[in-house]
Chains A and B, each alone.
Chain A
Amino acid sequence: MSLLEIKHVSGGYGEVDIISGIDMHVDPQEIVTIAGTNGAGKSTLIKAAMGLLPRISGSIIFDGTDLLALPIEDRIRVGISYVPQVRNVFGALTVLENLQVVEHATNKQARIREMFDLFPALAGRRAAYAENLSGGERQQLAFARALMSSPRLVLLDEPSAALSPALTDQVFMEVKRLRTIDVAVLMVEQRARQALAFSDRGYILDSGRIVLADTGANLLANEEMSDVYIGRGQAPSGSHPSHHPA
């Protein structure tokens, strides 16, 4: 049974549909990448799953729960976390406060210690305001904040946005690490070639519709689609998915 099941979802911010007739799923512990051209509706799809889209139709089921019936604040309770593309931490709060403020974390103090173990760079910066962190630290904090509630699915909106290539590699390492702690990932990524290289599956979005769904490896191997939607370039070596082939 899929962890997240999106069926016939359409919606947008105004009267015009940005995404239309979306059908997709994410299985437990799976990394799924949504790729596509600029303006294809990738981030809108992620926002729809998190409840941040003003108008939406269809159904989004998470582990048997109808998400569309839940307010945003309750989605974290059923096991979903979200890391936005920009402003993904509370800049005016310290690192520690960013973690403390997350609701639905059982045994919050112990969970914070776990997060500092998982992201040791943050432990020494716990009193620093998030707005003063470096790009890499900030992204780690965004991940830690998202993991505070022990989610089973993390929605990532372009985690490598505005990061240097070195930091991008570091962030992708963190994404891969999520699978090892039993967390599934649904990720929108502009650097799709790199992301698909370690994703179990991928969806290609164009003008708000899914035009192709396949394993990450097969999508990268499809030269025609790859040139149009993913961009040329080489995927990093040794980045093949380790489990859950579609």
Chain B
Amino acid sequence: MDWLSVANAAINGIVIGMLLALPALAITLVFGIARFPNAATGDYMTLGAYTTVASQAFLGGSVVTSVFGAMSVTALVSLFFYFWVFRALAERSQVARLIASIGVAFAVRSTITFFAGQDQHVVDVPLVRAWNFGGIRLLPTDLYILTTALTALVIVFCIMHLTPTGRRMRAIADNAELAAASGIRSKRVMIFLWSLTGAFCGLGGALLGIKAVVVPELGWELLMPMFAGVILGGIGSPVGAVLGIVTFSIAQEVASLFAGPPYKIVFAFVILLCVLLLRPQGMFGRPMAAR
């Protein structure tokens, strides 16, 4: 195995990881603030990918406008399910809300399948030749995906740390009772949270649609790696979610060189287990006893 193959696999892992960092961040934000693991995250991504495809097919929009359309539609659907399902279950147990989110995931996927069928679709992007730097290959499309994902992540981190809304979100994530006693209205924060995470899932789905074939199970199949990445980074830590999923994706892609693509996820989970044995709270998580 030459180092160029490893480097190319690692680059691919970084691109996929950065792309999946968007929904992974959505998972960790919802977990930290709404306090449950949202299993519908993957299917919100699928919705984003299909909306991009539909927007191109029926409205003839450019990739950029279609991606913005996907973000808007997914944000609206995310808000719809917040108002319809998750807000009503806000006082119920974490398990009840997890099960409800699985139901939402099925509802989204079934609706997509009802209208789009099981056929494969692709997001229409111009074919481009890969840049070659002495054997290290990089697709311009991957660079665009990387830049877009990175920009979105920078924006969300700026929102979290530089705006009053971001401070409120972090305060609720840290201590919901104290936040309420400090006058922070959690319902307003929740509306922003579900809009933001919906838009992020939509963007992640649209970018994934550019890189992969769009099928109804697109996001659902990525749910386990996304959760694994979030756990690896440390549940509730936004920085951890990004670095966790990037690490997990690199591990998967590099492992596929040695173990073959079917077993790459097994190898990645072995890495996850090793990290959790050494640091049960994940790379950037805080020990639960200290929270």
Give the complex CA separation of A149 and B181 in angstroms. Answer: 11
**A104 within 8 Å of B by Cβ?**
yes
Encoded as 1 (CB less than 8 Å from any B CB) or 0, chain A from 80 to 124 comes to 011010011111110001001111100000000000000000000
- Residues of B contacting A103 in the complex (Cβ-Cβ under 8 angstroms): 182-185
Give the complex CA separation of A50 and B290 in angstroms. Answer: 25
Contact between chains at B177 and A76 (CB < 8 Å): no
**A201 within 8 Å of B by Cβ?**
no
Encoded as 1 (CB less than 8 Å from any A CB) or 0, chain B from 267 to 281 comes to 000000000000000
- Residues of B contacting A75 in the complex (Cβ-Cβ under 8 angstroms): 181
Smallest CB–CB gap between B236 and chain A, Å?
9
- Residues of A contacting B291 in the complex (Cβ-Cβ under 8 angstroms): 91
Q: For A87, give the chain B residue with the smallest CB separation.
A: B175
Contact between chains at A52 and B164 (CB < 8 Å): no
Smallest CB–CB gap between B190 and chain A, Å?
13
Contact between chains at B167 and A76 (CB < 8 Å): no
**B173 within 8 Å of A by Cβ?**
yes
Q: Contacts A90-B171, A93-B170 known; A52 to B177 CB distance under 8 Å?
A: yes
Contact between chains at A90 and B183 (CB < 8 Å): no
- Residues of A contacting B174 in the complex (Cβ-Cβ under 8 angstroms): 90-93
Q: Contacts A73-B185, A104-B183 known; A84 to B173 CB distance under 8 Å?
A: no
**A72 within 8 Å of B by Cβ?**
yes
Contact between chains at B171 and A50 (CB < 8 Å): no
**A145 within 8 Å of B by Cβ?**
yes
Give the complex CA separation of A104 and B180 in angstroms. Answer: 12
Smallest CB–CB gap between A62 and chain B, Å?
14
Within 46-90 of A, Cβ neighbours of B (below 8 Å) are at 50, 52, 72-77, 81-82, 84, 87-90
**B143 within 8 Å of A by Cβ?**
no
- Residues of A contacting B171 in the complex (Cβ-Cβ under 8 angstroms): 90, 93, 101
Encoded as 1 (CB less than 8 Å from any A CB) or 0, chain B from 249 to 291 comes to 0000000000000000000000000000000000000000011
**B109 within 8 Å of A by Cβ?**
no
**B168 within 8 Å of A by Cβ?**
yes
Give the complex CA separation of A60 and B183 in angstroms. Answer: 19
**B178 within 8 Å of A by Cβ?**
yes
Q: For A80, give the chain B residue with the smallest CB separation.
A: B181
Encoded as 1 (CB less than 8 Å from any A CB) or 0, chain B from 114 to 133 comes to 00000000000000000000
Q: Which of A74, A77, A88 contacts B178 (CB 8 A)?
A: A88
Encoded as 1 (CB less than 8 Å from any A CB) or 0, chain B from 177 to 206 comes to 111111111100000000000000000000
Smallest CB–CB gap between A177 and chain B, Å?
21
Contact between chains at B184 and A101 (CB < 8 Å): yes
Contact between chains at A90 and B170 (CB < 8 Å): yes
Contact between chains at B175 and A102 (CB < 8 Å): no
- Residues of A contacting B186 in the complex (Cβ-Cβ under 8 angstroms): 73
- Residues of B contacting A89 in the complex (Cβ-Cβ under 8 angstroms): 178
- Residues of B contacting A104 in the complex (Cβ-Cβ under 8 angstroms): 183
A residues sitting closer than 8 Å to B (CB atoms) are: 50, 52, 72-77, 81-82, 84, 87-93, 97, 100-104, 131, 145, 149
The 8 closest A-B pairs by CB, nearest first: A103-B183, A76-B183, A72-B180, A92-B174, A82-B181, A90-B174, A101-B167, A101-B171
Q: A72-B181, A84-B178, A101-B171 are in contact. List 14 more A-B contacts (CB 8 A).
A: A52-B180, A52-B181, A73-B183, A76-B182, A87-B175, A89-B178, A90-B171, A90-B179, A92-B174, A93-B167, A97-B167, A101-B182, A102-B183, A131-B290
Would you give 26 A-B contacts (Cβ < 8 Å), ordered by A? A52-B177, A72-B181, A75-B181, A76-B183, A81-B181, A84-B177, A84-B178, A87-B175, A87-B178, A88-B178, A89-B178, A90-B171, A90-B174, A90-B175, A90-B179, A91-B174, A92-B170, A93-B171, A93-B174, A101-B167, A101-B168, A101-B182, A102-B183, A103-B184, A104-B183, A131-B290
